[in-house]
A and B are shown apart, each in its own frame.
Chain A
């Protein structure tokens, strides 16, 4: 117990309640229809983590990974997770009906196709760059890290972007 009268655990509980995560879990686990679930189309926001992911890979390949770039990864992944959870594919897939299951399948298929193509082109290009510029092990490790994070950002945000453009705007969907 400290001066504020709260233990460290109680402070952590307060932090979780403040973040809204506990309410979200309660809503998602509820069987009630009117629980205010918010899984709305996000037509532009997913572009932020995607642009950051692509920018990180380009920056790592052209310069080198700096501490600032490593620090930017945390907020970028958090944005990607928020986009993914609040977008049209954010609800648990076990609750999907046939339309939602088809939308989820199409969205991830589109995402995997784009990522496979980008990696097929980008992989050999990066290997060529590494060979021609005699990159150090540290530099290669930085690029590899950027590639993992970049792919993760796109995997989290691109299906949401696709599903959002395939869904009508919120106002139409809630008529």
Chain B
């Protein structure tokens, strides 16, 4: 089963590098790259550490369903206005 994630998005939003995130959660910076590309599924501990670092719930970062693109909510807001 594919585990989708939004680590790259959160990282870009907070303007932190892979290395900074890696150091904060105690892994090799290559591992962050593997996670972002979906080449590696993290342990519950690592997933929770990353979520804690960004101050969000695990579900905000990881999902079995594909995450909605950023453009869609923006489009909806624009339509509502």
Contact = CB atoms under 8 A, between A and B. Distances in A.
Interface size class of B (residues with CB under 8 A): 10 to 19
Interface in B38-77: 39-40, 42-43, 45-46
A131 interface: no
Interface in A75-117: 95, 97-100
Nearest to B23: A33
Given A173-B30, A175-B33, A99 B19 contact: no
A98 B43 contact: yes
Contact of A99 (B34, B37, B45): B34
Given A33-B19, A168-B39, A98 B27 contact: yes
B33 A99 contact: no
B40 A172 contact: no
Contact of B26 (A33, A97, A168, A172): A97
Nearest to A97: B27
A100 B37 contact: no
Interface in A119-175: 168, 172-173, 175
Contacts of A33: 19, 29
Interface of B: 19, 26-31, 33-34, 37, 39-40, 42-43, 45-46
